[in-house]
Amino acid sequence: MPAIVLSGFLGSGKTTLLLRLLEATLHKGLKPAILMNELGKRDVDGIGLNPMGKDLGIQKLLDGCVCCSRKQELAGKLKELLLLKPDIVFIELTGVANPEEVALALSEAELIAKVKLHKVVTVMDAEHVLEYNSWLDTDRQLVRTLRRQIETADLLILNKVDLVKADKLVKIEKEIRKQNASSLLMRAEHSVIDLEPILGGIEAAQGAAVGSRVMRPGRSPLVKKKDSANDTYSATTPETRPAPSFSRISTISLQLPADSSVTPKEIEKFLGAQGNNLLRAKGFVRIPRKNKVYQLQFAGKRVTWEPAAYYDADSYLVLIGLDWNEQNVTEAWEQLVST
Ligand SMILES: Nc1nc2c(ncn2[C@@H]2O[C@H](COP(=O)(O)OP(=O)(O)OP(=O)(O)O)[C@@H](O)[C@H]2O)c(=O)[nH]1
């Protein structure tokens, strides 16, 4: 089973790309499966993920990162997907995952004969990709991870170009090229791109015709040692392992009572009050005045509300933050929803 790994910082457009890839895969008459990893305790992205009305094989790994705390579960989830006999599996990582870790996990003994890494795709938010160094400078591990996402990708997608002026795009591309000079770099709005560079060759995947590939090592000395027998990186020697992806990120799940009269504006103000500590927020909120559920997205410091007719249960938000005081955030939320 060929695997395509989707990486990229929180909110850059991975799920948006995943939806396009799923549609394209189905159009080709291929059967996709999905492994979604979310940092938060509750799923948001996987809800309503049924492109072209199809229910797809999907496994979710919540509440942690498949590259570290949930790593042991990766093999089990992939094996469950294999039982569905898909032609391809898409693995959407959390925004703070180092794709190298997943590549290593795929080369472990129990998976190596069954799952082959086909492509690593990294999606970048054009509006913020150059700011991460200064914005996240308290977490050097995280900054390193974001560099590795770029350095090790086979394909780089500079997404959200609608939010950036043309001359700045050229500057961003130059900076990206310093980190990865050779991989295909494409501009995109809402992750619309020619998908052939990602999906090309998958037709031949049935019967394991797509060969294993070696992950781009990039320029970092962290992962270099290749297991020549298997043409993959060795996951056995500790000194060759990539550094952990991040250190000071944590998530909070917040509940909104059914009878709450909190307005979208108040929620936006609450999110804004978290400043640079808040990296990402998403969830579902019923707005009583409209008697409708909306999906809230806070990504790259922008908030959007989309009607979510496919979701009709409790209101909740998942927040991902860096270096924050979880208790303060939770208390501020409780105060907001109780007034
Ligand atoms: N303006 C603009 N918004 C975009 C674009 N691509 C995606 N978005 C929006 O950005 C938000 C985050 O997109 P997702 O696809 O969920 O991002 P993600 O990388 O999967 O997010 P996480 O998995 O939470 O890290 C959503 O509100 C998208 O609609 C784009 O090109 N331009």
Beta-bridged to residue 297, according to DSSP, are 282, 304
CA 14 / ligand 1 centre spacing (Å): 7
Element (H, E) at 140: helix 140-151
- Between vectors from CA 242 to CA 240 and to CA 248, what angle results, nearest 5°? 150
Average of per-residue pLDDT across 169-197: 96
| ipTM over 0.90 threshold | yes
CA 282 / ligand 1 centre spacing (Å): 11
How many CB atoms within 10 Å of residue 327? Answer: 9
Q: In the structure encoding, which two tokens stand for residue 138, read together?
A: 């308290």
Look at residue 236 and tell me whether its pLDDT is greater than 80. Answer: no
Under 8 Å CB-to-CB from 86, ≥6 apart: which residues?
1, 31, 32, 33, 57
Query: What's the rounded Cα separation, in Å, for the pair 56 and 49?
Result: 8
Integer-rounded Cα Rg, in Å, for the chain is 20
CA 190 / ligand 1 centre spacing (Å): 7
Q: Is residue 38 within 6 Å of ligand 1 at its C-beta?
A: no
Do 211 and 218 touch, CB atoms closer than 8 A? no
Query: What's the rounded Cα separation, in Å, for the pair 36 and 275?
Result: 28
Average of per-residue pLDDT across 63-87: 86
**pLDDT attached to residue 71:** 73
Domain ranges of the chain: 2-240, 249-338
Q: Read off the pLDDT band of 219 (50, 70, 90).
A: very low
Q: Return the best residue to mutate from 6, 16, 34, 318 for the ligand 1 pocket (most ligand atoms within 8 A of CB).
A: 16
CA 88 / ligand 1 centre spacing (Å): 23
Q: Read off the pLDDT band of 215 (50, 70, 90).
A: low
Specify the higher pLDDT residue, 294 or 133.
Answer: 294
**pLDDT attached to residue 27:** 92
**pLDDT attached to residue 197:** 95
Q: Read off the pLDDT band of 50 (50, 70, 90).
A: confident
Look at residue 14 and tell me whether its pLDDT is greater than 70. Answer: yes
Q: In the structure encoding, which two tokens stand for residue 114, read together?
A: 């069954």
pLDDT digits (tens, 9 = 90+) for 171-182: 999 999 999 999
Q: What is the residue whose two structure tokens read 């082959």?
A: 116
Q: Read off the pLDDT band of 245 (50, 70, 90).
A: low
| Domain 249-338, CATH homologous superfamily name and number | CobW-like, C-terminal domain (3.30.1220.10)
Q: Where are the beta strands (DSSP E) in the chain?
A: 2-7, 32-37, 57-61, 88-92, 116-125, 155-159, 184-187, 226-227, 232-233, 249-256, 278-287, 292-299, 302-307, 315-322
The residue type found at 122 is: T
Question: What CATH code is assigned to 2-240?
Answer: 3.40.50.300
Do 167 and 272 touch, CB atoms closer than 8 A? no
Look at residue 230 and tell me whether its pLDDT is greater than 80. Answer: no
Lowest mean pLDDT across 114-118, 181-185, 214-218: 214-218
Nearest to 62 by CA among 47, 50, 79, 52: 47
Q: Read off the pLDDT band of 211 (50, 70, 90).
A: very low
**pLDDT attached to residue 214:** 55
Query: What's the rounded Cα separation, in Å, for the pair 127 and 188?
Result: 12
Q: Is residue 12 within 6 Å of ligand 1 at its C-beta?
A: yes
Q: Read off the pLDDT band of 227 (50, 70, 90).
A: very low
Q: Return the best residue to mutate from 15, 21, 38 for the ligand 1 pocket (most ligand atoms within 8 A of CB).
A: 15
Look at residue 213 and tell me whether its pLDDT is greater than 60. Answer: no
**pLDDT attached to residue 75:** 87
Average of per-residue pLDDT across 91-112: 88
Q: How far is CA 235 from CA 100, 241, 244, in A?
A: 10, 7, 14
Q: Is residue 13 within 6 Å of ligand 1 at its C-beta?
A: yes
| Residue with CA closest to ligand 1 atom 26 | 297
Question: Which numbered atom of ligand 1 lies nearest the CA of 8?
Answer: 19
Q: Do domains 2-240 and 249-338 have the same CATH topology?
A: no
CA 11 / ligand 1 centre spacing (Å): 5
Q: How far is CA 72 from CA 76, 95, 203, in A?
A: 8, 19, 30
Q: Is residue 15 within 6 Å of ligand 1 at its C-beta?
A: yes
The residue type found at 259 is: D
Q: Is residue 95 within 6 Å of ligand 1 at its C-beta?
A: yes
Lowest mean pLDDT across 135-139, 251-255, 289-293, 333-337: 135-139
**pLDDT attached to residue 292:** 93
% of the chain exceeding 70 in pLDDT = 86
Counted residue by residue, the chain has a size of: 339
Nearest to 74 by CA among 99, 50, 56: 99
CA 224 / ligand 1 centre spacing (Å): 32
**pLDDT attached to residue 290:** 87
Query: What's the rounded Cα separation, in Å, for the pair 249 and 246?
Result: 7
187-221 burial, b if ≥16 CB within 10 A, otherwise e?
A: bbeebebebebbbeebeebeeeebebbebbbbebe
% of the chain exceeding 90 in pLDDT = 58
Look at residue 261 and tell me whether its pLDDT is greater than 80. Answer: yes
- Between vectors from CA 56 to CA 97 and to CA 319, what angle results, nearest 5°? 40
Question: Which numbered atom of ligand 1 lies nearest the CA of 282?
Answer: 24
